[in-house]
Amino acid sequence: MFPTIPIGPLRIQTFGLALLLAYMAGLWLAARRGPRHGIAGDHIYNAGFYALLVGLVAARLGHAVAYFEVYQTDPMQILSLSPGAFLALPGLLGGLAMVAIYLRRHHLSAVAFADAAAPGILLALTVAALGDFLAGRSLGSLSDAPWAMEMFGVQRQPVALIEAVALGGLLAILLLVDSRRPLRPGQLALLALFGYATIRLLTEPLRADSALVGDGWRVVQIVALAVIAFSGWLLGRGATRPDEPEAEAPPAAV
């Protein structure tokens, strides 16, 4: 595992660098595909930039609130840029709120934006999962499977690598489907959501550090099942609606 990367006298955190690359790659792909869904690439870049700023602040403040006693003892910790000093949920909610504000201000369709952003988000998740694997952050369950890898002296499931491969495969399938047949507005985003939730549902049992509730239920799997049911229901509703004439879409950009 490579938790840090030496660059001269500095040591860069592998996962932090992976997150930066994931953001840049995801934003690039979303901007490339935006015009296909009626969203200019500049709008993708602008919304992504503002969402990043607001998301980082929200994630940092969320961590400070959750661990207030630590910051009360050492207030300068608020300036730490360690990936572990940010809470994902407040950051995600803050970023989504900023995107919603941007779309409303510029009179852009949220559904079209979601379709444009979905492949980019999957690419970002793939790169982040690879960084997670290289940094050795996700602890897989003990295993003697042929694909098990040694982590911390024992053979474990390479859960982050498995997720990265699955996410990359999902991205390739969705890009192929979107380029070969016209999809209804919102279907690409729903397919991405359905696929991602399915991947998390199947890979979560391979983790050794999953949060459990009740009689051994994994929290992530419960959420994934709810997302699968909801997105599957919406996809089913869309499939039963009569076809409507659509304008010819511009050639796909990858």
Q: pLDDT (tens digit, 9 = 90+) per residue, 73-84?
A: 777 777 776 666
> Is residue 51's pLDDT more than 90?
yes
DSSP secondary-structure letter at 136? T
Is residue 83 left, alpha or beta, with left meaning phi > 0 and alpha meaning psi from -120 to 50? Answer: alpha
The residue length of the chain stands at: 254
Q: How far apart are CA 156 and CA 145, in angstroms?
A: 9
Mean pLDDT of 31-59: 95
Q: What mean pLDDT do residues 6-24 have?
A: 90
Q: Global pTM?
A: 0.87
Which one is predicted more confidently, 11 or 224?
A: 224
pLDDT for the residue numbered 7 = 84
The DSSP bridge partners found for residue 167 are none
Q: How far from 150 is each of 145, 146, 154, 186, 204, CA to CA, in Å?
A: 11, 11, 5, 42, 19
Q: Is residue 56 part of a domain?
A: no
Does residue 52 form part of some domain?
A: no
Do the domain assignments include residue 178?
yes
pLDDT digit string, tens, across residues 137-169: 888 999 999 999 998 889 999 999 999 999 999
Distance of CA 244 to the CA centre of its chain: 32
In-domain check, residue 160:
yes
Find the mean pLDDT for residues 215-230: 91
Residue 213 covered by a domain: no
To which residue do tokens 């400070």 refer?
64
Helix (H, G, I), strand (E, B) or coil at 59: helix
- DSSP letters, 72-133, are HH-GGGGG---GGGS-HHHHHHHHHHHHHHHHHHTT--HHHHHHHHHHHHHHHHHHHHHHHH
Give me the residue label for tokens 């490339």: 32
Q: What domain range is 150 assigned to?
A: 4-39+109-185
| Domain assignment present for 120 | yes
Start-end of H helices in 142-186: 159-180
Lowest mean pLDDT among 25-39, 160-174, 206-220: 206-220
Side-chain-side CA neighbours of residue 10 (13 Å): 4
Q: What is the DSSP code string of 193-243?
A: HHHHHHHHHHHGGGBSS--EETTTEEHHHHHHHHHHHHHHHHHHHHHHSPP
- Distance between CA atoms of 122 and 192, rounded to whole angstroms? 8
Tokens of 184: 């209804």
Q: Strand pairing partners for 6? A: 11
Residue of higher predicted confidence among 40 and 6 = 40
High-pLDDT (> 90) share of the chain, %: 65
Query: Which tokens is 14 given?
Result: 């592998």
Return left, alpha or beta for 217; rule: phi > 0 is left, psi -120 to 50 is alpha, else beta.
beta
With cut-offs at 50, 70 and 90, classify the pLDDT of residue 240: low
Any domain includes 241 = no
How many domains does the chain fold into?
1
Query: Are the C-beta atoms of residues 231 and 198 closer than 8 Å to each other?
Result: no
Measured distance CA(34)–CA(79) in Å, rounded: 35
Amino acid 246: pLDDT: 46
As a whole number, the mean pLDDT across the chain is 89
Model confidence at 67, pLDDT cuts 50, 70, 90, reads confident
